[in-house]
Amino acid sequence: MRTELERAAGRLEAERLAFDKRQASEAGGFEAWRAAEVARLERDRRVLDKQTKALLKVRGLLGLGGLTWALLRQALRCTGCHTCCAEVSSRLARIGSTPHG
C-alpha cells in the first residue's frame, strides 16, 4: 500500500513538473507573439500617421471641401470590403470626384 502511494506521488510530481514546463513554454510563445503584434501595431500606426500627414498636404494643395475630405479618409480606412468603397465611389461621383484618381 505504501509503495503504491509513493509511486502515485511520484507520478503526480512528474505530471506537475511536465505541466509547469509546458505552461512556461506556452507563456514564452505567447510573449513572443505579443511582442510581434505590438511591433506590427506600432508600424501600422507610423504608416497611418505618414498617410495622414500626406493627406493633409494634399488637402491643402487641392483645397478639398469637408465632405470630399471625409470620403477620402473613409476610403483610406477601408479594409477591402468593397461595400464602403462602393459607397464612397457613389457619393464622390455625385459631387464630381473619384477616390482612386
Angle at 68 between CA 64 and CA 73, to 5 degrees: 105
pLDDT > 60? residue 39? yes
Cell 478639398, located at residue: 64
pLDDT > 70? residue 9? yes
What's the pTM value of the predicted model, to 2 decimals? 0.43
Q: Residue 100 has what pLDDT? A: 47
Q: What is the DSSP string of 11-68?
A: HHHHHHHHHHHHHHHHHHHHHHHHHHHHHHHHHHHHHHHHHHHHHHHHHHHHT--HHH
Cell 457613389, located at residue: 90
Domain ranges of the chain: 1-63, 64-101
Q: What is the pLDDT of residues 53-71, one digit of tens each?
A: 887 776 666 665 565 666 6
